Structures are given as structure tokens and as C-alpha cells.
């Protein structure tokens, strides 16, 4: 790995990446007919959380950074809905739902704190 990619050291990146890996793992168990539906959507928005975080990190101006961090936060909200739907469709057990939902919630707290630190807001 390249040493110049400092985003890998961020706790928000690390936790969000763990979330992506968890989403991939959980969606392996989804019905095959969901491969191009819910499975694909969940994976895409989970990856979008991390990808936009990384893209924002690489931007030069605060406004550019914040723009991508907000997109990341939006993708995290989208994932919340997909998790709820997967649970309602009984694709996730209550325990699996709770585990991944809690991880999503933790990423949200870290991302919000990261945005506050960048913007200087409280």
C-alpha cells in the first residue's frame, strides 16, 4: 500500500470500510433474484460511503471536501433504508440486522464528527 494515502489512518475510513465488507458478507446470503436488485443497491451505496469519503479527503478546498463528505453521509442514509427493507423482507435475521445497523450508526457518528472537525462547527 502507498504510504502517501493518509485517509487509511482515519478511524471513519476504517469503520466505513468494515461496513462495506459486512454489507458484502451479509448480501451473499440474499436470494439470487436480488443480485441485480437489493444486493447491488446495498453494495453500491455502502461503497459510495467510503469512495466519497476518500474523494473528499483528496480534494484541496474545504468546500470541495465537505461536498463529498455530505454525499458520503447521504449514501449512509440510503443504506439505512436498504437495511430496513432487507430486514422487513426477512433477508436479515434480527441479530444480523442489529449488528450491521449498529455498525452503520457508528459510521454515521464518526462521519458527523469528522465533518464537524473539518467545518469547525459544533
Domain total in the chain: 1
Domain that holds residue 83: 9-119
For residue 10, report the phi and psi dihedrals to the nearest 5 degrees. -70, 135
Residue 43 inside a domain? The answer is yes
Question: Does the pLDDT at position 3 exceed 60?
Answer: no
Grid-cell match 469528522, residue found: 114
Between CA 70 and CA 75 the distance in angstroms is 9
Residue 104 lies in a domain: yes
pLDDT bucket at 120, cuts 50 / 70 / 90: confident
Residue 28 within a domain: yes
Per residue in 45-104, pLDDT (tens digit) is: 999 999 999 999 999 999 999 999 999 999 999 999 999 999 999 999 999 999 999 999
- The secondary structure of 67-102 as a DSSP string is HHHHHHHHHHHHHHHHHHHHHHTTSS-HHHHHHHHH
What's the start-to-end Cα distance of the chain, in Å? 35
| Domain harbouring 13, CATH code | 1.20.1440.60
pTM, 2 dp: 0.91
- Give the relative orientation of helices 11-27 and 38-58 as an angle to the nearest 10 degrees: 160
Residue 62 falls inside a structural domain: yes
Task: Say if 27 falls within a structural domain.
Answer: yes
Amino acid at each position: 500500500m502507498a504510504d502517501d494515502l493518509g485517509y487509511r489512518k482515519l478511524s471513519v475510513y476504517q469503520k466505513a470500510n468494515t461496513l462495506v465488507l459486512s454489507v458484502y458478507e451479509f448480501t451473499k446470503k440474499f436470494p439470487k433474484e436480488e443480485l441485480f436488485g437489493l444486493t447491488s443497491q446495498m453494495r453500491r451505496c455502502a461503497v459510495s460511503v467510503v469512495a466519497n469519503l476518500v474523494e473528499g479527503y483528496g480534494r484541496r478546498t474545504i468546500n470541495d471536501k465537505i461536498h463529498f463528505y455530505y454525499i458520503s453521509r447521504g449514501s449512509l442514509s440510503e443504506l439505512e433504508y436498504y437495511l430496513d427493507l432487507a430486514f422487513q423482507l426477512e433477508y436479515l435475521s434480527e441479530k444480523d440486522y442489529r449488528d450491521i445497523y449498529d455498525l452503520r450508526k457508528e459510521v454515521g457518528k464518526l462521519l458527523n464528527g469528522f465533518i464537524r472537525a473539518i467545518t469547525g462547527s459544533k
